[in-house]
Structure 1
Amino acid sequence: MKTKYIIAILISVGIFNSCSGLFINRHITEQTQSLRAYPIHSTKYGAYLAARVAHIRQNYNLAADYYVKAIKEGADDADLLNRIYLLLTTQGRIDEAAEYAKKAIKEDDNSNFIHFVIMANEAKNKNYDKAIKSIDNIKDEMYQKSIGPLFKAWLYAAKNEKQKALEQLEVFKKDEALLSFYYMHRGMIHDYFNDTKSAQTDFEAIILDDDLEISFRSLQIITNFYLRNNQPQKAQNLIKTFAGYNTNTKVLSTLLENIQKIEKNRTLPLIDTPEKGLGEAIFNIAVIFRDFQTDIAQIFTALALYLNPENDVALISSADLSESNNRFTEAIKQYNKLSISSPLHYMAHLKISTILMNNQQFDESVQILKNMLKTYPDDYNILFNLGEINRMTDNNKDAITYYNKALDVAPKSTAADWTVYYALGMAYERNNQWNEAENVLKKALSISNRHPFILNYLGYVWLENNQNYNEALYMIFEAYQQNPENGHIMDSMGWALYRMGKFDDALNVLEKAAEYLPANAVVCDHLGDVYWQVGRKNEAKYQWQHALTLKEDTELLNKELIKEKLKNGAPQPISIIYNESLLVERLKMLSSSE
């Protein structure tokens, strides 16, 4: 079966899919124990249940409100306090979170994050000694020795104790992997204390060492430093150098344009308070965690934005975390907060359009993309996404136009991206331009190193068009060998076996395909055909009837033929003619090459 969608929604299981993910470094009581704590007639029980429902539905602000209500109405469960301050933190309601965190400490909650929440709140309120004490109260050695010094550096800077601040950073100098942290925060602290020479030395230690990473946020801060110190050419050269080995040139070109527009002596520092510096430090830690513990990343990102709401990189990261947790409404809300002047505004709106597209809100997505096209008329990503939407809505003529425009403007690094050729080939095939489709799909196959999706698509189309049987079968078998757990490839494999007259083998594969794709109309139709040929006629009719009710790939069905099969059954298929010895030999060669 041909695969309809290229862009897949990858749903990861994060902290918000169950309440247990929010209990960090704590013993988790069973839900039933929590429920037994509240008598059925109690108002607080109703608030608690409402909170749980909102929590399960991923409406976390509402869940936090109901948990707060339950506490105010008399609930005093320690786990409930824990749940409240963590939920409030992830929603950016840090002042409220700190209030409940302090109450939770009195209930012997000593999780790591309770102290980070209180630290951020105390720092925001300029209670720097209390903030330092909160770090000292952390029991976990990793957090105490690895993260604590970074945060303390900025808290000592806030106390105007520059030397102590710099001493805290020395621990990072010992680890090559953390040298970027060391120089970046030294530079920012020197800059905060108006020691321009020392700040520049530290910043340029990162720039001049090819082994040290420089993030986009670091790029923003360093170029801001250069502009404030009358070195605009250095700022521009740094961005141009960075763009030379970075594929996301649109964001960098916008940053460069913004720099070129700035008038002399009109640049304000990005980090003009120690609280913002602490926010940068916290966000650095969030970035480390986001690849393997998104729940912790979400907490640190929220704290970073609390201390520095102007950090557009942290804001887009927070939105991306919401998106990865399937919280699309919240993600869109956060993406929309990006200022039009931000270099990340383009990326944010592209992400919004993709969310809407993946959720089949095609009109809304097109509106955003066409508005973006007015500003970026030759943008590859915008043109490609417009092609995707038109293909997915069966407007293949326009899809072809957009895909070809995307290829015309594709940067060198993107020109070899097989996905656009694959998508263009599908659009040509569905627009009955088979010669063009075949040529483009062959190119996609070549540059993708024989990707199983393209092998499957081209092989299946050839099979359905009664062309190139030997090559079609080999491609489908190769795709199946590469990716035997993909439902669409399973369907093609089963259908190929059916067309070869191997009904029993086809049955085994198609039944498995139906398990993977239970809502797919084509799979049901194919399974019905094979059931009929093996004598399971009632099951065959059920599958055909079911196929007519399903929505996935329904446009690929021949509904009149299915109705005819329901009346008279499936005709005995004429087995395709293929060179079996050649196929067997090629499959042996394929197996031996692995």
Structure 2
Amino acid sequence: MILTRLTCLATILTAGFFTGPAIAMDGVAGPYLAAQAATALNDYKAASGYFNDALLHDPTDPALMESAIISDIALGNMAGAVPIAKALDATGTKSQVARTVILADTLNRGAYDDAIKAIAAGQGVGPLVDGLVTAWSQVGAGKMSDGLASFDKLADNPGLKAFALYHKALAMASVGDFEGAAKIFGGPDIQPTRTSLVAYIEVLSQLDRDKDALALLNEKFGAGADPGIEPLRHRLQAGEVVPFDVVRNAKDGLSEVFYSVAAALKGEASDGFTLVYSRIAQFLRPDNSEAILLTAGLLDSQGQHDLAIEAYATIARTDPAYYTAQQGRAQALYSAGHYDAGIEAMKQLVAAHPDLAEAQASLADLLRRQERYAEALPVYDAAIALIKDPKPRNWAIFYMRGVCNERTGHWGKAEADLRKALTLRPEEPEVLNYLGYAMVERSEKLDEALAMIKRAVAARPDDGYIVDSLSWGYYRTGHYSEALPIAERASQLMPVDAVVTDHLGDIYWSVGRKLEAQFQWHRALSFNPDPKDEVRIKRKLEIGLDAVLKEEGAPPLKSTSAVGGANGG
């Protein structure tokens, strides 16, 4: 929501969040340093254990206490975070993270009047959260009029208006004022998100406006693209009155406050900071599937795949988000190195949803990443067969099938797929580079190939692989002098890549700088090259590039003057 204003929002929310005095090291150095190392790796489980061990040596150190709180929250251990937060607050230290945890605990206990008083006394979190929490707490305390007035007051701030009105609409719907909620949801101030759209659809159904609800669902979600939406579609088509359950009560609304902020901050603040809000949203409503999905995604992106798998597993089979959770779980299993388990989980999902192109494509992607190209191809075929009218957003599936076709030797099909991807997304650098490079390798349509790669470089001038493709294109067309500075640039961008380094060696050789070529080939061998490339590099070191080309029956290098002397001196 209001993404253009989120930088300011992130600043407001994060100010003072991770603060604290220096830690005294006597007796705690070991566990503290271990905790810091674990934190740097986002290993929250280890960090929590080490920080809590350190607290045994120094139980009143504010910085240690705050770090332990943050690790426990990220781990989902609110039971461990709450007592530490209360102890930290008792020291008189001003800690926003401690105040946030204490406030969340107060709300979880349903002590709404206490929460209102704490915020009024300056013990809140920040303007947005404080305003929304106050309003929802008033609703929870039975003061609906005061709550609506608080939402309106918050809406007077232009930067927070959409948040305030969205939550006001949820609050009104939660007490049965569907007419009032519909006016807000249908107005210009609500940003369309999955949750807000489902809420609006449920409100319309409660008003016996199923046709309007179904039309909105079809417009925003399409037909069959989201398995989590299909049960809602079927109920509307059957003429059922769908209950409003996006927010059932004030506590659900408060969970939505923290989820709304987390979702808005994703990509604008650090993942660790965003995780605090998504975890608190779960704490207040354990079945908040959107918060769970966000938490799991954040953990997965931080490399905490096992924690992500645990989070995905908490979403019930009956939850509309179950499909998305299982897809995320399969990806997390794969990312954790459990390749077969990830692929098997995705196969089960495909079996349950055989008519869903996204599921087929996700399975094919995992097989492709395993370099099981022949197995991936029929799955991509099945996915593409389900896409009746390809749109620009479908470019990637044609691109990936093209990659698999090229890797399995079906060049004609590969070229057709790659060109189809370009018709859907004409200036996509990945496709321009892949197709251009493939044509260079095949010595086909070289002028077009170089033009494609140049467009890719213009779009991504700092992408080492794409820059390398351009240098290789010049090399393969005999323009060695033009290739050299571009190859050196690619090597700067990708200094430990075996292919880029090997290419640089070949180009040095082509301009007569043979000692430098041999040096680069030796470097390439140290970067774990593909076994086939390793054999070829070693052969070049034994007999030289010219002799290798002759052995391979490839055209010889074109005659050219050396650049910079025989050995580049």
Instruction: Answer yes or no: same fold by TM over 0.5.
Output: yes
For residues 62 and 550 of structure 1, do their structure 2 counterparts lie closer, same or farther at Cα, with a shift above 3 Å needed?
A: closer
Structure 2 partner of 1:537: 514
Q: Secondary structure in 2 aligned to 1:250?
A: coil
For residues 513 and 112 of structure 1, do their structure 2 counterparts lie closer, same or farther at Cα, with a shift above 3 Å needed?
A: same
Structure 1 partner of 2:84: 100
Q: Secondary structure in 2 aligned to 1:495?
A: helix
For residues 113 and 239 of structure 1, do their structure 2 counterparts lie closer, same or farther at Cα, with a shift above 3 Å needed?
A: farther
Alignment match of 2:416 (pick from 431, 439, 451): 439
Structure 2 partner of 1:12: none
Q: CA deviation at 1:571?
A: 0.9
Q: Aligned partners of 1:62, 1:468: CA distance in 2, in Å?
A: 55
Alignment match of 1:38 (pick from 25, 28, 34): 25
What whole-Å deviation, never above 9, does each CA across 1:231-273 have from its counterpart, x for those lacking one? 6x64675255133133683145334167469998996955444
Q: Is the 8 A contact 2:546 2:557 kept in 1?
A: no
Matching of residue 170 in structure 1 with residue 162 in structure 2: no
Q: Secondary structure in 1 aligned to 2:226?
A: helix
Q: How does 1:54-453 map to 2 (within 5 A)?
A: 54-138=38-122, 145-174=127-156, 181-190=163-172, 192=174, 194=175, 196=176, 199-209=177-187, 212-221=190-199, 234=209, 237-246=212-221, 249-256=225-232, 259=235, 269=245, 271-294=247-270, 295-357=272-334, 361-410=338-387, 412=389, 414=391, 417-453=394-430
For residues 71 and 411 of structure 1, do their structure 2 counterparts lie closer, same or farther at Cα, with a shift above 3 Å needed?
A: farther
**TM-score computed with the length of structure 1 as normaliser:** 0.80
Residue 265 of structure 2 aligns with an amino acid whose one-letter code is F
Q: Aligned partners of 1:340, 1:262: CA distance in 2, in Å?
A: 23
Alignment match of 1:487 (pick from 464, 470, 488): 464
Q: Is the 8 A contact 2:181 2:203 kept in 1?
A: no
Residue 566 of structure 1 aligns with an amino acid whose one-letter code is L
Question: Which of the pair has the greater relative contact order for Cα pairs under 8 Å at 6+ separation?
Answer: 1
For residues 484 and 55 of structure 1, do their structure 2 counterparts lie closer, same or farther at Cα, with a shift above 3 Å needed?
A: closer
Structure 1 partner of 2:7: none
Matching of residue 455 in structure 1 with residue 447 in structure 2: no
Q: Is the 8 A contact 2:65 2:88 kept in 1?
A: yes
Q: CA deviation at 1:316?
A: 0.8
Residue 143 of structure 2 aligns with an amino acid whose one-letter code is E
Q: Is the 8 A contact 1:451 1:479 kept in 2?
A: yes
Q: Secondary structure in 1 aligned to 2:76?
A: coil
Residue 202 of structure 1 aligns with an amino acid whose one-letter code is G
Residue 428 of structure 1 aligns with an amino acid whose one-letter code is N
Q: CA deviation at 1:200?
A: 0.7
Structure 1 partner of 2:566: none
For residues 261 and 104 of structure 1, do their structure 2 counterparts lie closer, same or farther at Cα, with a shift above 3 Å needed?
A: farther
For residues 504 and 254 of structure 1, do their structure 2 counterparts lie closer, same or farther at Cα, with a shift above 3 Å needed?
A: same
Q: Which moved further from structure 2: 151-160 or 348-357?
A: 348-357
Q: Is the 8 A contact 1:519 1:551 kept in 2?
A: no
Residue 493 of structure 2 aligns with an amino acid whose one-letter code is Y
Q: Aligned partners of 1:95, 1:395: CA distance in 2, in Å?
A: 45
Q: CA deviation at 1:513?
A: 1.9
Structure 2 partner of 1:474: 451
Q: Secondary structure in 2 aligned to 1:108?
A: coil
Q: CA deviation at 1:406?
A: 1.4
Q: CA deviation at 1:551?
A: 4.3
Q: CA deviation at 1:409?
A: 0.8
Q: Secondary structure in 2 aligned to 1:244?
A: helix
Q: Is the 8 A contact 1:459 1:476 kept in 2?
A: yes
Q: Which moved further from structure 2: 253-262 or 305-314?
A: 253-262
Residue 16 of structure 2 aligns with an amino acid whose one-letter code is I
What whole-Å deviation, never above 9, does each CA across 1:471-522 have from its counterpart, x for those lacking one? 2233233322332211111211222232344434433222332333344332
Q: Is the 8 A contact 2:460 2:466 kept in 1?
A: yes
Residue 162 of structure 1 aligns with an amino acid whose one-letter code is M
Residue 381 of structure 2 aligns with an amino acid whose one-letter code is N
Q: Is the 8 A contact 1:500 1:576 kept in 2?
A: no
Q: Which structure 2 segments of 5+ residues have no match?
A: 1-12, 548-554, 560-569
Q: Aligned partners of 2:72, 2:336: CA distance in 1, in Å?
A: 28
Alignment match of 1:509 (pick from 486, 493, 496): 486
Structure 2 partner of 1:588: none
**Sequence identity percentage:** 25
Q: Secondary structure in 2 aligned to 1:285?
A: helix
Q: Aligned partners of 1:205, 1:179: CA distance in 2, in Å?
A: 15
For residues 252 and 542 of structure 1, do their structure 2 counterparts lie closer, same or farther at Cα, with a shift above 3 Å needed?
A: same
Q: CA deviation at 1:203?
A: 1.9
Q: Is the 8 A contact 1:98 1:118 kept in 2?
A: yes
Q: CA deviation at 1:210?
A: 5.3
For residues 355 and 538 of structure 1, do their structure 2 counterparts lie closer, same or farther at Cα, with a shift above 3 Å needed?
A: farther
**TM-score computed with the length of structure 2 as normaliser:** 0.83
Q: Is the 8 A contact 1:312 1:338 kept in 2?
A: yes
Matching of residue 24 in structure 1 with residue 2 in structure 2: no
Q: Aligned partners of 1:401, 1:338: CA distance in 2, in Å?
A: 31
Residue 297 of structure 1 aligns with an amino acid whose one-letter code is T
Q: Aligned partners of 1:244, 1:391: CA distance in 2, in Å?
A: 33
For residues 291 and 475 of structure 1, do their structure 2 counterparts lie closer, same or farther at Cα, with a shift above 3 Å needed?
A: closer
What whole-Å deviation, never above 9, does each CA across 1:438-490 have from its counterpart, x for those lacking one? 22222222322132222222222222222222222332333223322111112
What whole-Å deviation, never above 9, does each CA across 1:29-55 have from its counterpart, x for those lacking one? 5xxx53xx233xx3x444333433432
Structure 2 partner of 1:524: 501
Aligned residues, how many? 538
Q: Is the 8 A contact 1:513 1:523 kept in 2?
A: yes
For residues 215 and 530 of structure 1, do their structure 2 counterparts lie closer, same or farther at Cα, with a shift above 3 Å needed?
A: closer
Residue 154 of structure 1 aligns with an amino acid whose one-letter code is W
Q: CA deviation at 1:526?
A: 1.5
What whole-Å deviation, never above 9, does each CA across 1:68-114 have from its counterpart, x for those lacking one? 23223334322112212232233333343232222222333223333
Q: Is the 8 A contact 2:251 2:284 kept in 1?
A: yes
Q: Is the 8 A contact 1:452 1:482 kept in 2?
A: yes
Q: Is the 8 A contact 1:184 1:202 kept in 2?
A: no
Q: Aligned partners of 1:562, 1:489: CA distance in 2, in Å?
A: 22
